[in-house]
Amino acid sequence: MTTKTKTKKEVYWRCKKCGDEIYWNTHKSMTYCKCGALGVDGCEFYLRLIGDEKYREEVKRTKK
């Protein structure tokens, strides 16, 4: 197996209501935060965000 190291930004979506963070890549499964105000469905090819824009924020983080 070949390991391709892609420098991809680590993006999380944070719910401002409950503070839950969801990683951008949910491998095509719809993932909701604890309170259900934010839903993320993403993979390498698409990203779908459910919920009100004002309750979510983008969090960028560098993975160590």
* Residue numbers at the binding site for Zn ion (CB under 5 A): 15, 17-18, 20, 33, 35, 37
- In whole angstroms, give the CA distance from residue 8 to residue 40: 18
Please identify, using beta-carbon distances, which residue of 47 and 55 lies nearer to Zn ion.
Answer: 55
- In whole angstroms, give the CA distance from residue 31 to residue 43: 12
Please identify, using beta-carbon distances, which residue of 37 and 40 lies nearer to Zn ion.
Answer: 37
| Dihedral of the alpha carbons of 47, 30, 52, 62, in degrees to the nearest 10 | -60
Measured from each CB, the residue nearest to Zn ion is: 15
The distance of closest approach from Cβ of residue 9 to Zn ion in the complex, given in angstroms and rounded to an integer, is 22
